[in-house]
Structure 1
Amino acid sequence: MNPGAPAHPLLKLLELAQRARAAASDNELAFLAVNDTRVLTPYRQAALWFGTAGVHTLSGVVSVEANAPYAQWIDQLCRTLAAQRETGGALAVEPAQLPRDVGAAWSEWLPAFATWVPLRSLHRHAAGQAGGAAQRAGLLLAGDAPSSPEQLAVLDEWMDIWQHAWRATHRRSAWSSMGGLPARLHGWWQGGARGQRWRRGVGAGLLLLAAACVPVRLTVLAPGELVPANPTTVRAPLDGVIADFAVRPNQVVAAGAALFSFDQAPIDSRLTVAREALGTAEAEYRQAAQMVLNDPRAKTQLATLLGKIEEKKAQSGFLEGQAQRSRVLAPQAGIVLFDDPSEWIGRPVQTGERIMQVASPTDVEIEAWVPIGDAIPLADKAPLNLYLAASPLSPVSGTLRYMSHRATARPDGSYAYRVRATLDSPLDQRIGLKGTAKLSGERVPLIYWMLRRPLASIRQFLAM
Structure 2
Amino acid sequence: MSNVASIGATPSSIKPLFAVLDLSHRARQAATLDELAFLLVNDTRALLPYRQAALWFSDGGVRALSGVVQAEANAPYVQWLNRLCSTLCTQKVDGNSIAPDVAVAQPVDHGSLPADLAAEWNEWLPREALWLAMPASDAHPGSGSGGILLAGDNPFSDDASALLAEWLHAWRHAWLARFRPPAWSRARLGDSLRTWRSAERKKSWWRSRFNQIALLAVCALFCPVRLTVLAPGELVAAAPSVIRAPLDGVIGQFHVRPNETVKAQQLLFSFDEAAISSRLQVARLTLATAEAKYRQFAQLALSDNSSKAQMMVLYGEISERRTEAEFLQNQLERSRVLAPRDGVVLFDDPSDWVGRPVQTGERVMRLATPDEVEIEVWLGIGDAIPIEEQAPVRLYLAASPFSSIAGQVRYIGHDAVPRPDGSYSYRLRAKLDERSQQRIGLKGTAKIYGDWVPLSYWMLRRPLATIRQYLAL
TM-score, with structure 1 as normaliser? 0.57
**What is the CA–CA distance in structure 2 between the aligned matches of 1:331 and 1:420, rounded to whole Å?**
25
Pair 296,192 (structure 1): closer, same or farther in 2 beyond 3 Å = closer
Q: 1:396 aligns with which of 377, 396, 405?
A: 405
- The secondary structure found in structure 2 opposite 1:294 is coil
**What is the CA–CA distance in structure 2 between the aligned matches of 1:189 and 1:335, rounded to whole Å?**
74
Partner of residue 421, structure 1 = 430
One-letter amino acid matched to 1:289: A
One-letter amino acid matched to 1:251: E
**What is the CA–CA distance in structure 1 between the aligned matches of 2:362 and 2:200, rounded to whole Å?**
80
One-letter amino acid matched to 1:462: L
Mapped pair 1:228 → 2:249: no
After the TM superposition, which residues 132-281 of structure 1 pair with which residues of structure 2 at under 5 Å, given as runs? 191-193=200-202, 199-281=208-290
Superposition deviation, residue 190 in structure 1: 5.8
**What is the CA–CA distance in structure 2 between the aligned matches of 1:269 and 1:221, rounded to whole Å?**
57
- The secondary structure found in structure 2 opposite 1:342 is helix
Mapped pair 1:434 → 2:438: no
| Residue pair 1:189, 1:200 contacting (<8 A) in 2 also | no
Mapped pair 1:317 → 2:330: no
| Residue pair 1:216, 1:443 contacting (<8 A) in 2 also | yes
| Residue pair 2:200, 2:209 contacting (<8 A) in 1 also | no
| Residue pair 2:201, 2:208 contacting (<8 A) in 1 also | no
Stretches of structure 2 lacking an aligned partner (at least 5 in a row): 1-138, 140-196
TM-score, with structure 2 as normaliser? 0.56
Superposition deviation, residue 301 in structure 1: 1.4
Superposition deviation, residue 446 in structure 1: 1.0
Stretches of structure 1 lacking an aligned partner (at least 5 in a row): 1-68, 70-187
Mapped pair 1:445 → 2:454: yes
One-letter amino acid matched to 1:331: P
- The secondary structure found in structure 2 opposite 1:241 is strand
Superposition deviation, residue 200 in structure 1: 4.7
After the TM superposition, which residues 340-379 of structure 1 pair with which residues of structure 2 at under 5 Å, given as runs? 340-379=349-388
Pair 347,463 (structure 1): closer, same or farther in 2 beyond 3 Å = farther
Superposition deviation, residue 343 in structure 1: 0.6
- The secondary structure found in structure 1 opposite 2:239 is coil
- The secondary structure found in structure 1 opposite 2:437 is coil
Partner of residue 162, structure 1 = none
**What is the CA–CA distance in structure 2 between the aligned matches of 1:418 and 1:412, rounded to whole Å?**
15
Superposition deviation, residue 205 in structure 1: 2.8
Superposition deviation, residue 297 in structure 1: 1.3
Partner of residue 408, structure 1 = 417
**What is the CA–CA distance in structure 1 between the aligned matches of 2:472 and 2:292, rounded to whole Å?**
81
Mapped pair 1:282 → 2:286: no
| Residue pair 1:189, 1:199 contacting (<8 A) in 2 also | no
Superposition deviation, residue 208 in structure 1: 2.0
After the TM superposition, which residues 97-136 of structure 1 pair with which residues of structure 2 at under 5 Å, given as runs? none
One-letter amino acid matched to 1:308: E
Pair 272,202 (structure 1): closer, same or farther in 2 beyond 3 Å = same
Pair 239,200 (structure 1): closer, same or farther in 2 beyond 3 Å = same
- The secondary structure found in structure 1 opposite 2:302 is helix
- The secondary structure found in structure 1 opposite 2:360 is coil
One-letter amino acid matched to 2:392: P
One-letter amino acid matched to 1:400: V
Deviations 1:89-132 (A, max 9, x none): xxxxxxxxxxxxxxxxxxxxxxxxxxxxxxxxxxxxxxxxxxxx
**What is the CA–CA distance in structure 2 between the aligned matches of 1:202 and 1:311, rounded to whole Å?**
98
- The secondary structure found in structure 2 opposite 1:442 is strand
| Residue pair 2:200, 2:210 contacting (<8 A) in 1 also | no
Superposition deviation, residue 199 in structure 1: 4.7
One-letter amino acid matched to 1:223: P
**What is the CA–CA distance in structure 1 between the aligned matches of 2:472 and 2:281, rounded to whole Å?**
70
- Count of aligned residue pairs for this structure pair: 278
One-letter amino acid matched to 1:222: A
Superposition deviation, residue 206 in structure 1: 2.2
| Residue pair 1:366, 1:422 contacting (<8 A) in 2 also | yes
Identity %: 58
Pair 360,209 (structure 1): closer, same or farther in 2 beyond 3 Å = same
**What is the CA–CA distance in structure 2 between the aligned matches of 1:451 and 1:280, rounded to whole Å?**
84
Name segments (4+ residues, structure 1) moved above 3 Å: 188-196, 198-204
One-letter amino acid matched to 2:466: S
Deviations 1:283-304 (A, max 9, x none): 2212221221232012111111
